[in-house]
Structure 1
Amino acid sequence: MADSGNNSKTALIEALNGALADHLALYIKTKNFHWHIAGPRFRDLHLLFDEQAAQIISLVDVIGERVRKNDEYTLTSVGSVAKITAIKDQDDVTLTPDAMVAELRDDNRKLLERLEQVKQTSEEANDNATNGLVDDWIDQAEERVWFLNQTAK
C-alpha cells in the first residue's frame, strides 16, 4: 500500500516547484513587456509592469525556500523552469500594449490556477506554513489580474 502522506508531500513539492517556475517565467515576461512597451500609454504601463515584476520576483526565494524547508530539491536552471512552467515564452517585441496587457492578465490567471494547486496540496500534506503563505500569494496574483483587467481596452 502506498504511503498517502508521502504522496501528498510529493504533490505539494511538484506544485511548489511549478509555482516557482511560473513565477520566474512570468517575471521575465513582465520585464520583457516593461522594456518593450511603446505608445501613448507607455508611462502608465511601463510603471505597472515594473511594479508587478517586482512583486512577482519577491516571491521567488520564498517559494524556493518552502521546497527546501520540506527537505526537497527545487529548480536548478532555466531549462528546469522551462520544462514545468505553464507560462509560454513571448519573444515578439512588437506586440501592441493591449496584447501585452491581455497576455499578462491571462498568464496571471494561469499562475492563480497553479497557486490553487499549492493551496490544495498543502492542505493534503498538512503543511500549515505553506498553506498560510499561499493565501497571500493568491491575493497578490488576484490583484495583478484585477489591475490588468481594468487596464485592458
Structure 2
Amino acid sequence: MNQVSKLVSPALKTPSAFSDEAIRDLSAAATTLLADVFALYLKTKNFHWHMSGANFREYHLLLDDHGAQLFEMTDPLAERVRKIGGSTLHSIGDIARSQRIADNDADFVHPHEMLAELREDNGRLLASLRALHDLCEEHNDIATASVLENWIDETEQRVWFLFEILRDTNR
C-alpha cells in the first residue's frame, strides 16, 4: 500500500469538517501533487547547477527563480493536507513512489533541452494543479482551491517564459 492510500494514524487525527471520502480524495491528490512539486523543484535545481553555454547567466538566474517558486509551494501544500485531516509525505522514498514528473540524471543536457523539458514538466504540473482545483470545488474545499490559484498563475508564467525563450529553437 503506498503512502497516498494509508489511513491517518489516530495519533495524527486532525478534526475536520470534511467527509472521510473528501479527506481521502483531497489528501491523495495533494500528496501526489506535492511529490511532483518536489521532483520538479529538484530537477529545476539540477538544471540550474549544471547550466552552461552562451546564455548561462540568464538561464541560471531564471531557473533559480523557478526553483524558489516551486519550493515555496511545498510547505503550504503539505500543511493543507494536514489541516483537512490527511497525512502526507514522510520521506524521499515517498516522493519517489508518488512522483509523476520524471527525473533526469544525465551527465550533460543541452541548455535548450533542459528548458524544453522543464516547459513540458511545468505543463504537466499545471494540469495537475487544475485537476486538484476541480477536486477542491467538488468537495467544497475553498481554502485549498484559493491557494492553488496563485500557484496556477505562477506555473502558467513559468510555462510561458520557457516557451518564449525556446520559440525559435525548434524545441
1:81-129, Cα deviation, whole Å (9 max, x unpaired): 1111111010113110110000000000110111112101111111110
Alpha carbons of 1:6 and 1:71: their partners in 2 closer, same or farther (altered >3 Å)?
A: closer
Tell me the equivalent position of 1:8.
22
2:160 to 116, 121, 146: 146
Q: Normalized per residue, which structure has more helix?
A: 1
- Aligned residue identity for 2:43: K
Equivalence map 1:43-58=2 (5 Å): 43-58=57-72
1:133 offset after TM fit, Å?
1.0
Tell me the equivalent position of 2:10.
none
Identity %: 44
| 1:105 lines up with 2:119 in the alignment | yes
1:5-62, Cα deviation, whole Å (9 max, x unpaired): 4333322111110111111000100000000011101111000000000010011000
1:96 to 110, 113, 118: 110
| 1:40 lines up with 2:54 in the alignment | yes
Runs of 4 or more off by more than 6 Å in structure 1?
A: none
Alpha-carbon distance between aligned partners in 2 of 1:77 and 1:114, rounded to the nearest angstrom: 21
Tell me the equivalent position of 2:43.
29
1:120-148, Cα deviation, whole Å (9 max, x unpaired): 11111111100111111111110000011
Alpha-carbon distance between aligned partners in 1 of 2:94 and 2:131, rounded to the nearest angstrom: 19
Give the TM-score taking structure 1 as reference length. Answer: 0.94
In structure 2, the gaps of 5 or more residues are 1-18
Give the TM-score taking structure 2 as reference length. Answer: 0.84
In structure 1, the gaps of 5 or more residues are none
SS of the equivalent of 1:88 reads coil
Whether the aligned pair in 2 keeps the contact of 1:9 and 1:125 (CA below 8 Å) is no
Whether the aligned pair in 1 keeps the contact of 2:123 and 2:159 (CA below 8 Å) is yes
2:81 to 67, 85, 92: 67
Structure number with larger C-alpha Rg: 2
Q: What is the aligned length?
A: 150
| 1:19 lines up with 2:33 in the alignment | yes
Whether the aligned pair in 1 keeps the contact of 2:24 and 2:86 (CA below 8 Å) is no
